[in-house]
Amino acid sequence: LYHTVVATYHSAVAFHGSGGCFYTHGIGFWAAGAWTVLVGAITYVLGSRIWALGKTFGYITPADLLADFYESDAVRVVAAIVSVLFTILYIQVQAVGLGYILSVASGDRISFELGTLILLIVAAGYLIAGGLRAVYWTDVIQGVWMYVAVWAGALVLAFELFGGPLELWRQVAAERPDLLTLPGPEGFFTPGMWFGMIVVLSFGIVFQPHLFIRYYTAVSARTIKLLGATTPIYLMTLYIPAALVGLGGALVMPDIAIPDRIFPEMLFAYAPAWLTGAILAGATAAAMSTLDSMLHANMTVLTRDVYQRYIRTGASQNHYILIGRLIVVALLAVGYFLSVSTFDFLVQLVALSGSGSLQLMPAVLGVCFPGRHLTTKAGVIAGIGAGLATLCVTLIIFPHPLGLHGGVWGLLVNFVVTFVVSRFTLPPSDVTVSRIHGAVERFVYEGDPA
């Protein structure tokens, strides 16, 4: 479970996007160290409660938990749509990362578009053939390979080009001191953006189905809590080599056209061919370990929460398996189209993805944390709608008002609307509240559910 969670959390952003962000915005991207630690705390506190409810009531998807508590099919559908819609952006990130790898590794002999298509087909192949078991085992291998490859590549480049990490830092301080100060060369990492990125890329990613579902699969609460205590070690330390690559790359390749390609471009230019191949395989692992998990999770959400309940009930298991495989193909087609049609910094795409998923937060907290004032289905639906509308305004029309990330503005409006509407609408029945909140309280005060 440990390897599949950390490999799923870290994606093409770990190899491409983080280096590109350090390259462009400087040391401010070390906010990543804070949000990865927060992921551990969320897993320890919230993840264990999600696990307890999943074990007690047999939940499989995030929408199962929400629909059961709020007694609403509408909540189920809204949660499923939000989960899948914003995870598609994350699928795009992995597709772009895979395309970069083959394009750079082949010296641009393989086009970005063709490279993306080839590796997406590979991911679809082993997912369709092996299902969740294939995802878990490939995540274990890919997670180890990714970690070793990123560290090895960064250290080789640091010693080859600068004589070591310490000399690299000295040269950056002498030649590009703007990369070592806040808010960075382009003024991006203001305190508000720091705070916003920390919230969006911790809670926002945790609420996406490919990680949420992982909490259900743990053997025990102790496993979840141990996971929360240890995952930050893996997650946070992977950004150290990314900083070496991004900051060093700003010195040796100051005019690169696509900053997200800085790591593979430096390897191709300065590292031995055999080592470059091995490291780029690790980069491929970084993208595919997240891609396969997202595809499987979204396949589960769409098949179980939408198709099986509202389109074709009572069909055979083989029929649902076939539909799930067709959904995988459809999601890959959408991800491929977006990856070859639109471009942006990978980190910004992930932040947008997390901002959307973040809007599920009030609904989930209302289930997992019993309180005097209950959230209601009307409040949750209104809050999600208001949060998403605010997100559009604060990301597109008036980007990041007052320097605070648009995802946080969306969440703040979401909480307010959820609370206000919930005060004037019917809460879940006493029986349901007693059943679900009672299970949470028994877990908190008595330990593992029976």
Domain ranges of the chain: 2-446
Mean pLDDT of 206-224: 90
Predicted pLDDT of residue 344? 58
Cα–Cα distances (Å) from 164 to 154, 157, 175, 234, in that order, read: 10, 8, 17, 22
Predicted pLDDT of residue 273? 84
Contact 301, 209 (CB under 8 A): yes
Mean pLDDT of 238-250: 94
Encode pLDDT of 392-435 as tens digits: 999 889 999 998 999 999 999 999 999 999 999 999 999 999 99
Amino acid occupying residue 414: N
> Which has the minimum average pLDDT: 291-295, 310-314, 332-336, 371-375?
291-295
Per the CATH hierarchy, to which homologous superfamily does domain 2-446 belong? Answer: Sodium/glucose cotransporter (1.20.1730.10)
Amino acid occupying residue 236: M
Q: What is the CA radius of gyration of the chain?
A: 22
Predicted pLDDT of residue 342? 61
Q: What is the pTM of this model?
A: 0.88
Predicted pLDDT of residue 105? 75
Predicted pLDDT of residue 13? 67
Predicted pLDDT of residue 50? 97
pLDDT at 2 over 80: no
Amino acid occupying residue 259: P
What one-character-per-residue DSSP string does 56-76 give? HHT--SHHHHHHHHHT-HHHH
